[in-house]
Amino acid sequence: MIIVSWILIIIMIVLAILSVQFKDLLAAVVAMGAVSLIISLLFLLLQAPDVAMAEASIGAALTMIIYIIVVRKTERREK
Amino acid sequence: MIRKITYTIFLSIIVATLILFFVAFPFGKNKMGVGKYYLNNDIKQTGAANVVTAVTLDYRGLDTLGEVTVLFAAAAGVSILFYLIDQDKKKRERQVYPNFIVRVGSRIIFPFILLFGSYIFIHGHLTPGGGFQGGSIIASGFLLLYLAYPGERVNRKKLAVTEGLAGLTFVVFGAIGIFTGAHSFLFNFFPKGTLNMLFSAGILPILYIAIGFKVGSEFAGIIDDMMCQTVCGGEK
Amino acid sequence: MIFYVGAFILIAVGLYAIIIKKNLVKIIIGLDLISSGTNLLIVSIGYVKGGTAPIFSHPGILPQMMVDPVPQALTLTAIVIGASELALAAAFVAILYKHYGTLDIRKVRGLKW
């Protein structure tokens, strides 16, 4: 569990920094969804299956679609 | 410049809090306060196998009612804001229709998504899951329909009626508790049943089913507001 | 331990996005990062080493082996509230874009410092 959580947290931090730094907003949004998915895996490692299900279905699916619709309604590049 | 100074101040606060956490709340140690009481008395007092459900709906049921109210307020706010945009002439965007396989496949898969969501919120007191998770799964099923059939929308009036009836169920079952037994809101007046059976835990499954319908219809409404700005061209 | 560090780094990255970045979508992403980091922090406070999930799924599980259920219930609430708050913020961004024609926060009057 220790090694798995180390690997997952390092991937999560890299993805979070990428999602802030990407110039392409759609790529940033997809990286944000990946961060949510990894956080739901971490909740599973922390013995919280209820929270993991909520995060996977709300944080990674519904939130992503809200972001994607906003990017589509506005503009895609960050100037 | 001032932004960087502000960020530096916040960053130092964060680092100080991290050190404080390492000292005050050591990771992995048993530091339960009220949680121990909930764990020890859960089976006797509520009869639900899932302690998280018992805490969410029974011990802190009033908080959940407030949370559902906040969710309703946010959905209403999204609706109002998009109505403000809607006032102007809508410019027609180029619509992309999905292909045959996506349309037919989504039609086949949609009832199963509804079934899975209902399964999750009906068994909320036995297995991980519950009204919030099942409701959002149902809302993502509606999202699939919106992606597969652009130009069509769900009936908003029926969504609103479902949401209102679900909220009413929650409040009515809470209010019955005032007149029976312990004279408190959300008192668990049904028989507890045996542990790990479907009909157990008193009123908790009924409350979670109500929450599932309410969350599902609210998120479906939010998705409808957002998708119909870009994808579908029909009138409200 | 690493869970605390990861949660605090998420909060720090989210604060960076809110304070330094000037794009409105990036600011919403920062809000979401902060809320996710806080959820991870709260759940990891309630973890007990070697504990199981707080569900009496078969008779051999005793209350002494379980992790704390209260942070999990609080986080369940916080995730749903966070999603609805995010939808509201997204609607505000769409309205601002329609009004000002840009996502740059410096060009939105009344919001600069």
- Residue B87's contacts (CB-CB under 8 Å, 6 or more residues apart) are none
Whole-number pLDDT of residue B234 = 45
- Percent of chain C having pLDDT more than 70? 96
Cβ(C32)–Cβ(A32) below 8 Å: yes
Predicted local confidence at residue B236, as pLDDT? 41
B103 pLDDT exceeds 50?
yes
Q: Delimit the domains of chain A by residue range.
A: 2-73
Distance, CA of A43 to CA of B74 (rounded, Å): 26
Give the confidence band of B95 by pLDDT, cuts at 50, 70, 90: low
Q: How far is the C-alpha of A22 from the C-alpha of C23, rounded, in Å?
A: 12
Tokens of B48: 């639900």
- Running DSSP on this structure, what letter comes out for residue C50? T
The verdict on B49 touching C (C-beta cutoff 8 Å) is yes
Report how far residue B64's alpha carbon sits from residue A46's, in angstroms, rounded to the nearest whole number. Answer: 23
Q: How many residues are there in chain B?
A: 236
Q: Residue ranges per domain, chain C?
A: 2-48+67-100
pLDDT at B113: 92
Closest listed residue to residue A65, CA positions, set A24, A26, A12, A17: A26
What's the first-to-final CA gap in chain A, in angstroms? 42
**Which of these CATH numbers, 1.50.10.10, 1.20.1250.20, 1.10.287.3510, 3.20.20.150, describes C2-48+67-100?**
1.10.287.3510
Read off the pLDDT of each residue in C41-52 and give the average, rounded to a whole number.
Answer: 87
Considering only the beta carbons, identify the residue of C8, C63, C76 that sits closest to B14: C8
CA B58/CA B52 separation, integer angstroms: 10
Look at B143 and A53 and tell me if their CB atoms are within 8 Å: no
Q: What is the pLDDT of residue B86?
A: 65
Q: Report residue C64 as tokens.
A: 């002494």
| Token code pair at residue B74 | 């946010």
What pLDDT score does A10 carry?
A: 92
**Of all helices (H) and strands (E), which one includes residue B130?**
none
Which member of B52, B219, B229 has the closest CB to residue A73? B229
Across the range C66-77, mean pLDDT stands at: 88
Please, where are the H alpha helices in B25-130?
A: 34-45, 51-53, 61-86, 100-122
Q: Looking at residue B45, what is its pLDDT?
A: 80
> Residues 53..112 of B with a Cβ closer than 8 Å to C: which?
54-56, 60, 63-64, 67, 70-71, 74-75, 77-78, 81-82, 84-85
Q: Does residue B84 have a pLDDT over 60? A: yes
